[in-house]
Amino acid sequence: MKIHPFNPVAAEVTRFIPSRAAKCGMRYEIRAFSRRLLRVLGALVFVGVLCPKDAKGEIFYATSEKPSTSLTASFVSPAIISSTIRPIINPSNTMAERLKAVHRLGETLGRDEISALYDFLKSAPAQEEKDIAGLHGLKNDTLNVLRNQSSAPEHLTDTLIKIYRDPTQDSVMRDYSIQHLVTWYEQGAPDSSQAKEKIRSVLHQAAQEDSSIAGTALLGMHRLSSSDDAFSGEEIDRMALHQTQSPGVNRATRITAIQVCAERGVKAVTPAIESLTQTLDSLPLRLSAIAALGKLGREENSPQMRPPETGSEKELSAALQNAVRQLK
């Protein structure tokens, strides 16, 4: 089913679910679809690339997780919040206004401003927050600004680690903290001399979580290992192989672990992914397996790269073509 443009559909979800009963087939179909989409969207908390932008273009509004706690915006004393930060944390402003305020912050924030932003990042959403997806986008852009200060903000590494380790944070913010830790490491993590060591330790810990964060951490470690010997290539290989071979591993992590194996040339993974090239459980899992087999397999794997008789040939075509080309 094609959904385009996105916004009206999302809006439809919001309107239908709470108030309307499905009374006719047509409506039921829409509602059923909407429910399915809601299930998908309910799991989505867009950030960064899917967050609303300044009152123009595509805006994704998705229903989202409930905040784990309900705090008001009193997490930081108003006396120390500068007028540059206030519009960002004020939930009564529109998300577009708040994003604009973030994008105006510049590269030379003062210590108090940075401290206020840390408090904002660490806080659970205030009760007044209506757009949690937008809030995640806002926090993501705030982290971008903090990482790109002309002088490294003190305690940025510690703040990100705290967010990751805070069980009251939702999974999206915890995942983002891992992503930003990886990027911060790439930038040299110059906020303290122990920062890199701390980040390596956290990534190692996160890569063993039983959630999709493990895949994010593993992918980050893999990328960082190409330029930093402090990451053990053998250990990353072993972790990626384990996560690929274990059916019980979180599926998102498994999808990513297969690609880590492929990019690292871990041929031992081949038997495990051969069967996954035909799986109907998950399209991205299958695509990842096809791409990995193309990279790691032999020419005799080519027959496995035929599209299935029915189903999603179209979705597989790019991966299959690439894989077959590589196998030859």
Where in 123-182 is the site for another protein (CB under 8 A)? 140-141, 144, 171-172, 175-176, 179-180, 182
Judged by CB under 8 A, the residue of 13, 30, 38, 81 near another protein is: 81
Burial class (CB in 10 A: 0-12, 13-18, 19+), 81: buried
CA distance 259 to 101: 38
Per-residue tokens: 64: 């989202």
The CB-of-24 to another protein minimum distance in angstroms stands at: 23
Considering only residues 194 through 213, tell me which ones interact with another protein, judged by CB under 8 A.
Answer: 212-213
Whose tokens are 């051969």? That residue is: 274
For residues 238 and 325, which CB has a smaller minimum distance to another protein in the complex? 325
Judged by CB under 8 A, the residue of 1, 21, 24, 26 near another protein is: 1
Per-residue tokens: 317: 């075509």
For residues 43 and 268, which CB has a smaller minimum distance to another protein in the complex? 43
CA distance 135 to 115: 18
CA distance 231 to 136: 30
The CB-of-237 to another protein minimum distance in angstroms stands at: 16
For residues 122 and 136, which CB has a smaller minimum distance to another protein in the complex? 136
Considering only residues 90 through 129, tell me which ones interact with another protein, judged by CB under 8 A.
Answer: 92, 103
For residues 21 and 128, which CB has a smaller minimum distance to another protein in the complex? 128
284 sits near another protein (criterion: CB under 8 A):
yes
DSSP string, 176-199: HHHHHHHHHHHTT-TT-TTHHHHH
- Among candidate residues 297, 250, 251, the one with its CA nearest the CA of residue 273: 297
- Among candidate residues 239, 233, 240, 238, the one with its CA nearest the CA of residue 262: 240
Stretch that binds another protein, among 115-123, 191-199, 252-260, 298-306 (CB under 8 A): 252-260
CA distance 104 to 191: 23
Judged by CB under 8 A, the residue of 220, 225, 272, 305 near another protein is: 220
Query: At 165, which helix (H) or strand (E)?
Result: helix 156-165
Stretch that binds another protein, among 15-23, 24-32, 150-158, 320-328 (CB under 8 A): 320-328
227 sits near another protein (criterion: CB under 8 A):
yes
Contacts of 131 (CB under 8 A, 6+ apart): 52, 61, 95
- Among candidate residues 266, 181, 182, the one with its CA nearest the CA of residue 223: 182
The CB-of-191 to another protein minimum distance in angstroms stands at: 15
Give me the 24-63 binding string for another protein, x by CB under 8 A, dash otherwise: ------------xx-xx--xxxxxxxxx-x-xxxx-x---
188 sits near another protein (criterion: CB under 8 A):
yes
Stretch that binds another protein, among 23-31, 69-77, 232-240, 315-323 (CB under 8 A): 315-323
Judged by CB under 8 A, the residue of 13, 76, 146, 219 near another protein is: 219
CA distance 260 to 147: 26
